[in-house]
């Protein structure tokens, strides 16, 4: 069964709305762990719009499960990652005007620029992941650039407007998982997954982890973080492929 990585950025978004010290994403990380998260994910953006530098060493200290740092390849962020040594660094594309990460990284185009960053992060002891669309060329390029893991963008499925495009998106995820595994990559998935749409994705064999943020934090406003994490874990378990 795939494990659950909980993205805590939204807690920091609420804090930054007032530039104050609450709610604290570090507390959220502790609560998510108590609810059964197998991984805590945070994104230190270049514009520091939610998670800020102060959070990073504190997360490193309090997170006892896997710690996954999402990041672009901005030099100052790469330096922080090398110093902090999270268990995993997930390289994502970043655009200043975006509301959240939109689509996957273009590893085919960025190839050589990524190779050096991947090597530095691996030397620092981190497992390095590429957030990409389930496209065979991007998967091949990720393996060639030295990534050990790919996180396949599930947004194509989550944003599908009808049953046909949803089926198509599921088929490309199934093929993407298979292709990535053949390349020797560990496969994660994420983006746009919710309590209502996660079942068919949780049922795909080969995903080792799902990273989910918005839907869990939205529910947490009403039931608390621990219960929201428990409920998502229950769904992953209920719909997991039969081994």
Interface positions with ligand PXP (CB under 6 A): 7, 9, 43, 70, 90, 92, 100-101, 131, 151, 190-193, 211-215
Q: Smallest gap, in angstroms, from Cβ of residue 104 to ligand PXP?
A: 9
Q: Smallest gap, in angstroms, from Cβ of residue 206 to ligand PXP?
A: 17
Catalytic residue list contains 188: no
Q: Which helix (H) or strand (E) holds 211?
A: strand 209-212
Q: Which is nearer to ligand PXP, 26 or 210 (CB)?
A: 210
Q: Smallest gap, in angstroms, from Cβ of residue 154 to ligand PXP?
A: 8
Catalytic residue list contains 97: no
Instruction: Catalytic residue, from 10, 43, 50, 188: name it.
Output: 43
- 3 state SS of 152: strand
Q: Which is nearer to ligand PXP, 26 or 69 (CB)?
A: 69
Beta-bridge partners for 68: 41, 88
Token readout for 109 is 């185009």
Q: Smallest gap, in angstroms, from Cβ of residue 242 to ligand PXP?
A: 26
Q: Which is nearer to ligand PXP, 135 or 151 (CB)?
A: 151
Q: Which helix (H) or strand (E) holds 130?
A: strand 127-132
Instruction: Catalytic residue, from 10, 179, 191, 209: name it.
Output: 191
CA distance 27 to 205: 33
- 3 state SS of 166: helix
**Under 8 Å between Cβ of 51 and 66:** no
Give me Rg for the CA atoms of the chain.
17
Q: Which is nearer to ligand PXP, 114 or 242 (CB)?
A: 114
Q: Smallest gap, in angstroms, from Cβ of residue 25 to ligand PXP?
A: 13
User: Over 134-154, what HEC string results?
Assistant: CCHHHHHHHHHCCCCEEEEEC
Q: Which is nearer to ligand PXP, 131 or 147 (CB)?
A: 131
Instruction: Catalytic residue, from 70, 94, 133, 209: name it.
Output: 70
CA distance 156 to 6: 20
Catalytic residue list contains 179: no
Residues designated as active site = 43, 70, 191
């Amino acid at each position: 069964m795939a494990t659950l990585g909980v993205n805590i950025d939204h807690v920091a978004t609420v804090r930054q709305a007032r530039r104050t010290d609450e709610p604290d994403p570090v507390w959220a990380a502790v609560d998510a762990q108590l609810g059964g998260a197998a991984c805590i994910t945070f994104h230190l953006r270049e514009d520091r719009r939610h998670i800020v530098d102060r959070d990073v060493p504190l997360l490193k200290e309090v997170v006892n499960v896997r710690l996954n740092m999402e990041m672009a390849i901005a030099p100052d962020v790469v330096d922080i990652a090398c110093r902090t040594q999270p268990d995993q660094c997930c390289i994502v594309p970043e655009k200043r005007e975006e509301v959240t990460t939109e689509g996957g990284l273009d590893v085919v185009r960025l190839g050589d620029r990524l190779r050096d960053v991947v090597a530095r992060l691996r030397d620092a002891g981190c497992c390095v992941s590429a957030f990409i669309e389930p496209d065979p060329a991007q998967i091949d390029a990720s393996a060639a650039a030295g990534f050990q893991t790919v996180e396949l963008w599930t947004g194509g499925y989550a944003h599908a407007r009808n049953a046909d495009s949803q089926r198509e998106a599921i088929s490309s995820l199934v093929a993407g998982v298979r292709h990535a595994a053949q390349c020797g990559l560990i496969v994660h998935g994420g983006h746009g997954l919710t309590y209502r749409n996660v079942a068919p994705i949780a049922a795909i064999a080969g995903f080792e982890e799902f990273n989910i943020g918005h839907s869990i934090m939205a529910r947490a406003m009403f039931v608390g973080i621990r219960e929201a994490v428990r409920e998502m874990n229950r769904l992953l378990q209920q719909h997991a492929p039969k081994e």
